[in-house]
Structure 1
């Protein structure tokens, strides 16, 4: 979890800990995730709450709050990123062939990081295009962008 996520979660925690007790009621998790616009499985949520409210106090501190909420947030981020990458891939796969050429990939990489040298680019392309086909399919592209 990075600092930005921690800060955001702390704000949310404080919003739901109006009495400033240092705890959030477990009954508020459904509202919290709905407020964040997250889709979630209520059974899965209840299991996580039980796991982190082992003493069944009905409330959790900030660390446990993060442990309960984070998995639900990350899934959506990954999905959103997956969609964005798919969209980017589609933009470059103009003919809709399901792959882009390594030449196109080189241009994308240069746009993403203008500090890359030709040698860097060759190395990256060799690593991604393991079979030397001169093309990169979506899975290879995804692996490179997320790996």
Structure 2
């Protein structure tokens, strides 16, 4: 539960409670599939069954709220990472004007200055030196992604 925002947990609680109509304190695997689909998570029946088996260790196919949150967190965090990657890919594409598959460290310097105008030239040199490990003077998307996502 630590990996989710408070509002995400609250939304999961509402979904859980609305499907736990008998107030039994658990929901079934079918219900979990329905909730995840309503949240926009795309998952095959096979993958869902595997995840539920991993989460509901007792083999009952019933999930109590903490188990449901743990399961949902896997998908919500994964989705956030995919969205971040898509946004970073778009940003990278904008800066890679020629479509070479890389940006120069000079372009990176400009990006970093736009993000934080308090960075000194020494700060920028340090960041660029750390990110451009091979000293090529360029960054491919993976290096850019790693830098931007920490």
Q: TM-score, normalised by structure 2?
A: 0.83
| Unaligned segments of structure 2, at least 5 residues | none
**Structure 1 position 139, deviation (Å):** 1.4
How many correspondences in the alignment?
147
Matched, 1:3 2:13: no
- For 2:119, the equivalent position in structure 1 comes to 116
- The answer (yes or no) to whether the contact 1:45–1:68 under 8 Å persists in 2 is no
Q: SS of 1:37's equivalent?
A: coil
User: What is the Cα deviation at residue 37 of structure 1?
Assistant: 1.0
* SS of corresponding position for 2:134: coil
Q: Please name the residue that 1:23 is paired with.
A: 26
Task: Give the Cα separation in 1 of the matches to 2:91 and 2:48.
Answer: 33
* Corresponding residue for residue 37 of structure 1: 40
Aligned equivalents of 2:114, 2:15: Cα separation in 1: 36
Secondary structure at the aligned position of 1:24 is classed as strand
Shift of 1:57: 4.1
Q: Is the contact made by 1:25 and 1:59 (CA closer than 8 Å) also made in structure 2?
A: yes
One of 128, 133, 149 as aligned partner of 1:130:
133
Q: Which moved more, 1:55-64 or 1:40-49?
A: 55-64
Distance 1:107 1:11 in 2: 45
Q: Distance in 2 between matches of 1:97 and 1:63?
A: 47
Using structure 1 for the length normalisation, give the TM-score: 0.85
Q: RMSD in angstroms over aligned alpha carbons?
A: 2.0
Instruction: Tell me how far 1:56 sits from its aligned partner.
Output: 4.1
Instruction: Kindly report structure 1 stretches of 4+ aligned residues shifted beyond 6 Å.
Output: none
Secondary structure of the 1:136 match is strand
Q: Which runs of 5+ in 1 are unaligned?
A: none
Between the aligned partners of 1:93 and 1:70, the Cα distance in structure 2 is 34
Which SS does the other structure have where 2:103 is aligned?
Answer: strand
For 1:42-62, what per-residue CA distance to the aligned partner results, in whole angstroms no more than 9, with x for missing partners?
Answer: 112112222333334443211
